[in-house]
Structure 1
Amino acid sequence: MRQRITPKHFIKKNWLLVGILCCIFLAGIYPKLGSKEGPLKTEYSVKYGAVSLMFLISGFSLKTDSIFHTFQQYKLHLFIQIFTFILIPIYTQGFVRFITIFGINSWVLKGLVTVACMPPPVSSAVILTRAAQGNEIAAIFNSVFGSFLGIIFTPILLLFNLGSTTIVPLFGTVIQLTTTVLLPLVLGQLIKVFTQFRAHNIPLNTISQCALLFVIYTTFCDSFSVPETGLSALDVIFTILSVLILQITLIIISFKTSTLLKKVFGPADVIAILFCSTHKSLTLGIPILKIMFHGYSHLSQISLPLLIYHPTQIILGGLMVSQLKDWLHSQKTKRLPI
């Protein structure tokens, strides 16, 4: 007899998804509060507050010996980076050529191609991997490594796919990744190794996910604060549908391909691959677009797919967390000796 799922049970099991939906609702009511240059000063509170806190907690939680083991999983790292910087741009070019027949704004199509060239983010993919009990260390390594690779490869990909290129601010990006990701991570590890901090009963995972919700809230505030794009309502609807279809198909391809390689990747690795290989960075993406298309009257149209892609990947990720945890446990059960 199937157990009846009560609203309380659903919220407890899917509280991250419920939190994301609440963030969207609150951001829609008053987006100015959490937008850039708003009262919450998100350029500091998010970048150096919430994001740094998430990676500090990751440093507390990670097992030191498993970090060294993950660094040796070169096949896993190679798969994620090839999927991110080679397979997605190739697939997106074919996808864009197909949807051209529906008469979508050509600048939006250019925006979809630019999204495909972007590196992975350094926050959402990691936290969602952790929430789904995937290989968190692999997610951290590939998110950070992918961001560094994006400094080199994203301009090259944009040149190859659009005939346009830009110089990514190398020094600023390295400083940002170091101060917001690497330093908190190393500090967390040092505190864990040399102190008894872990003896304290602190809900680190819940704090980390609350920090992620704050990042998500400010992301949607920025999205709702975007000025008029000059696109018709139909163009915007087509853009949202195109981004959704693109993301869902990429998720399916990533999941199916990595699960077929079950002799190479374990279930926890598959979860890390799923998020890291399909997510794209808004933090690096928007500055790149602003530099590359500076002065273009169509900048808002080109930016729209990325502005949609980023929050959509978080929503889809939130929807998948509970299912991925159940799938992971079922896979572990199958591998147990009878």
Structure 2
Amino acid sequence: MAYRITPLKFMHKNWLLIGILCCIFAAGVYPKLGSKEGPLWTQYTVKYGAIFIIFFSSGVSLKTENIYRAMRQYKLHGFIQLFTFLFVPVFAVIFVKCLSIINVHPWVLKGIFTVASMPPPVSSAVILTRAAQGNEAAAIFNSVLGSFMGIVLTPILLLFHLGSTTIVPFLDTVLQLMVTVLLPLLIGQVLKMWLNVQFRHVALNTLSQCALLFVIYTTFCDTFLVTETGLSAVDVLYTIFSVLLMQISLVLICFNVAKKFDQYYSPPDVIAIVFCSTHKSLTLGIPILRIMFHGYSHLSQISLPLLVYHPMQIILGGLVAPQIKDWMHAQSAKKLTV
């Protein structure tokens, strides 16, 4: 008898992707509600609400020994950080040269390299790694490590390619990372280890994914409100196509390279590598761009690829997560039969 996927089973398996699409639709209908100028106070409810919940859930659900083990996986960390800050910028240079053949707007091309210079995000990569049952502790560690490194490396990469320089407010950025990432992780660990507070794993996972959906919704609200870019509709379409092609290429390259080193990386490690290495931070990237290019007439054009990249990486991640989770289970089953 052939296996049939019912609509209910499909929705259960892909509910995160369905939620993402619903967030996009809701943001498109009335973007002002979830924008920075809207009544939801997203500058506070996202940073100190949704992201706090995401990492608090991780702190409660993760075993302390898994965190220590993840911190010692220096080969995994090396792969992710080198891929993020070395391979992706080099890939972007080659990719931009290929796109220049089809007359993509030159400022869009600069914006694509700008995307490649950004650090990994501290929310979406972690949640998608968890949704795919990957190495969540490693994803958290590398998201935080990449954010700290991005404070220094991202301006250097932008200076090298775009010829602009700035001093990113290091202490302010570090303080924000401590309050929004490290503090909720620590609180979750304290509640679990020393106070022995018990939480239901399913409820925590659902809560953190709902928090991610709120982040996605507000991101799309801000994206839909960005209308003055000075680019034609064709340029915007070229941007969307270019960013999607870049993301798919990076995911495929990263996945196929990482899984070949199976003597170093387990399937859960590969999942963390894929999401952490190919995702880029909007929450850290936009402030860096605004500092570096304040008053610059082409700021909106340079920022457009990043504004497109961030929500699109979540949509693509929602599509990839169930598939890569099935791959991981298939690998585990293969080892059991050997």
Whether TM exceeds 0.5 here: the answer is yes
Deviation at 1:165, TM superposition (A): 2.2
52-61 or 191-200: bigger deviation: 191-200
> Matched residues in 1 for 2:192 and 2:266: separation?
27
User: In 2, Cα distance between the equivalents of 1:21 and 1:170?
Assistant: 35
* Residue of structure 2 equivalent to 1:136: 136
**1:195, CA displacement in angstroms?**
2.3
- Equivalenced residues, count: 338
Name 2:64's counterpart in structure 1.
Answer: 64
Hey, what's the Cα distance between the residues in 1 that align with 2:150 and 2:167?
11
Q: Deviations over 1:220-261 (max 9, x none)?
A: 001011132111110000000000000000001100110111
Tell me, yes or no, if the aligned pair for 2:107 and 2:302 is still in contact at 8 Å. yes
Give the Å deviation of 1:155. 1.1
- Give 3-state SS (helix, strand or coil) of 1:166's partner: coil
Residues 1-338 of structure 1: pairs in structure 2 closer than 5 A: 1-198=1-198, 203-336=203-336, 338=338
Secondary structure of 1:336 counterpart: helix
Structure 1: segments with no counterpart, 5+ residues: none
**Which stretch shows the higher mean deviation, 113-122 or 221-230?**
221-230
Answer with 198-207 or 327-336: which moved more.
Answer: 198-207
Check whether the contact 2:61–2:201 (CA below 8 A) recurs between aligned residues. Answer: no
Is the Cα–Cα contact under 8 Å of residues 60 and 199 in structure 2 kept in the other structure?
A: no
State the AA in 2 paired with 1:192: K
Q: Tell me how far 1:202 sits from its aligned partner.
A: 6.6
- Matched to 1:70, the amino acid is A
Q: CA deviation at 1:298?
A: 1.3
- Following the alignment from structure 2 to structure 1, what is the Cα–Cα distance between the partners of residues 65 and 200? 22
Structure-2 separation of matches of 1:327 and 1:202: 22
Distance 1:2 1:141 in 2: 43
Stretch of structure 1 that moved more, 288-297 or 260-269: 288-297
TM superposition shift of 1:201: 7.6
Paired AA for residue 249 in structure 2: T
Letter in 2 for 1:191: L
Aligned mates of 2:168, 2:176 — CA distance in 1: 13
Q: Which amino acid aligns with 1:68?
A: Y
- For residue 88 of structure 2, what is the amino acid of its counterpart? I
Percent identity over paired residues: 66
TM-score (norm 2): 0.98
Counterpart-to-counterpart distance in 2, 1:200 and 1:224: 36
Q: What amino acid is aligned across from residue 120 of structure 1 in structure 2?
A: P
Q: What are the Cα deviations for residues 264-295 of structure 1, in whole angstroms up to 9, with x where unaligned?
A: 10000000000000000001111111111111
1:28, 1:337 → 2: CA distance? 49
1:133-174 CA distance string (max 9 Å, x none): 000000000000000000111111111122222211111110
Instruction: State TM-score, norm by structure 1.
Output: 0.98
Preserved contact between residue 20 and residue 315 of structure 2 (Cα < 8 Å): yes
SS at match of 2:130: helix
| Secondary structure of 1:197 counterpart | coil
Worse overlay, 12-21 or 65-74 = 65-74
Q: Structure 2: give runs of 5+ residues left out of the alignment.
A: none
Query: The residue matched to 2:198 in structure 1 has which SS?
Result: helix
